Amino acid sequence: MAVTARDVAIRASVSVSTVSRALTRPDLVSDETRLRIEAVAQELDYHPNSVARSLSTGRTYHLGLVVPDLENPFFASVAKGVQSYARQLGYSVFIADTDENTTMEVELVHQLAPQVDGVILCSPRCESDQILPLAATTALVLINRPIDSIDSVSFDHADGVRQAVRHLWALRHTVIAYAGGPRASWSDQVRRTCFHSFAEELGIETIDLGYFQPVHYGGMAAADLAFASGATAVLAYNDLVAIGLVQRLVMRDVHVPEEISVVGIDGITQASLFSPAITTVAGSLHQLARTSVDALINQDLEPAHRLLPVDLIVRASTAEPPGGPSAPPARPRMSHQSSSDPTEKEEQCGSSIAQSL
């Protein structure tokens, strides 16, 4: 015979309504009572009827999560974290992969909206004017994409780039290249702009290698340009690009970090297992997932933009440049044509940081 709420109530010495509140609206009961009821429910293997819950509360107890690419370990980790934490709160999660397709982002949110209590849209690639109408169809939280009227959670990309650039500056690198990500990525826009701005402040020459797919073969495509540029260090859009960079450089018998240092961003597990282990900038994906789910379930009247800290993790892929900073370059330098003047870059970076706060 299936265990009922009445069975839990009798064992926990509370009313059936208290059991219902503890398992659906825990904020309405004391922590002591909630913990006792949860312990009894677990002991009896009691699971509330989801249909009954939805009828009584007006909620589906389902959440949606839309990500650009589940094959990317960063997004896979975000999905795992969101699902795990949501499950603790009594929610299930529908996960959708856009395969880096901006049209699919909008379509998937529309498809999920009737079935869920809200959607977490992770690192969306589509334009802001395409995202804004989605907030009228369902509760919405954005990861790594702040828009004024929508709740968002982002890592502090500007500070992460600052830490990476200062690290390479401290190692006495004077010519650093940036291997970017997708053109439609807001994160790439912030990282690229701040890279040029912070490097300029330290007197570092910058080389923009362009835009690349945010996967290892994107890094392999960037590696030949990095080698030809004369840069002694490269900041990659993410760890997968950094790994691809190193793979291609090794294929060309270029030693990392003895000849070129490489820094990634994201802190995926693969970066620590690669040889050489990749120096990276990372935030807590656990905190990102929890904060996003909490923001979605407990939406405030006024949208909030939550900025999470990041840290530099120094590993084996960075070292001093060959011959020291005053030595002549080992390879000819590629001329760099800036897409905008330094003042404009600094203003853009400042604007991006302010938008994140």
Cis peptide before 214 (omega within 30 of 0): no
**9, part of any domain:** yes
In a domain, 173, yes or no: yes
In a shared domain, residues 266 and 334? yes
Of all residues in the chain, what percent carry a pLDDT higher than 90?
Answer: 72
Last residue of a domain, one of 155, 183, 214: 155
123, 252: one domain: no
- For residue 158, report the phi and psi dihedrals to the nearest 5 degrees: -60, -45
| Count of the separate structural domains present in the chain | 3
Write out the residue range of the structural domain in which residue 28 sits. Answer: 1-33+47-58
Q: Same domain for 247 and 278?
A: yes
Closest of 226, 219, 259, 238 to residue 164, by C-alpha: 238
CA distance 198 to 350: 11
In a domain, 175, yes or no: yes
Q: Averaged over 182-195, what is the pLDDT? A: 96
Please identify, among 108, 125, 155, the residue that sits at the C-terminal boundary of a domain: 155
Residue 344's pLDDT is what? 40
Claim to verify: residue 200 and residue 224 sit in the same structural domain: yes
Q: What is the pLDDT of residues 90-142, one digit of tens each?
A: 899 999 999 999 899 999 999 999 999 999 999 999 999 999 999 989 999 99
Q: Is residue 131 part of a domain?
A: yes
**Given a cut of 70, is residue 335 above it in pLDDT?**
no
Last residue of a domain, one of 155, 173, 200: 155
Mean pLDDT (whole number) for 308-319? 98
Does 199 map to a domain?
Answer: yes
Average of per-residue pLDDT across 7-28: 81
CATH number for the domain that contains residue 106: 3.40.50.2300
Strand partners, 176: 206, 233
pLDDT recorded at residue 56? 47
- Domain assignment present for 95: yes
DSSP state of 150: B
Selection from 28-42, 97-111, 330-344 with the highest mean pLDDT: 97-111
pLDDT band at 345 (very low <50, low <70, confident <90, very high): very low
Decide if 272 contacts 315 (C-beta within 8 A).
yes
pLDDT (0 to 100) of residue 49: 58
pLDDT at 356: 36
Q: How do residues 235-271 score in pLDDT, each as one tens digit?
A: 999 999 999 999 999 999 999 999 999 999 999 999 9
* 12 plus 109 within the same structural domain: no
Residue 212 in this model has a pLDDT that exceeds 90: yes
Same domain, yes or no, for 120 and 101?
yes
Are 176 and 128 part of one and the same domain? no
What is the spatial distance between Cα 240 and Cα 259, in angstroms, rounded to a whole number?
Answer: 20
| Cα gap 30→6, rounded to integer Å | 19
Highest mean pLDDT among 52-61, 81-90, 217-226: 217-226
Alpha-carbon dihedral 191, 192, 196, 198, rounded to 10 degrees: 0
DSSP state for residue 146 in the 8-state scheme: -
Residues with Cβ within 8 Å of 105's Cβ and at least 6 positions away in sequence, in order, are 66, 98, 121, 124, 125, 126, 130
Mark whether 211 and 352 lie in a shared domain. yes
Do 207 and 239 belong to one domain? Answer: yes
Report the pLDDT value the prediction gives residue 50, as an integer from 0 to 100.
52
* 68 and 195 co-located in one domain: no
Return the closest-CA partner of residue 28 out of 14, 7, 48: 14
Residue 188 covered by a domain: yes
Question: Is 151 a residue whose pLDDT tops 80?
Answer: yes
N- to C-terminal Cα separation, the chain: 53
State the average pLDDT for the chain.
88
Q: What is the pLDDT of residue 324?
A: 64
Amino acid letter, 90: G
User: What pLDDT was estimated at residue 48?
Assistant: 66
Q: Kindly state whether residue 132 falls inside one of the protein's structural domains.
A: yes
Is the pLDDT score of 168 beyond 60?
yes
Does one domain contain both 320 and 203? yes
Together in a domain, 6 and 150: no
pLDDT digits (tens, 9 = 90+) for 269-303: 999 999 999 999 999 999 999 999 999 998 876 78
Please tell me which residue, 345 or 285, carries the higher pLDDT value.
285
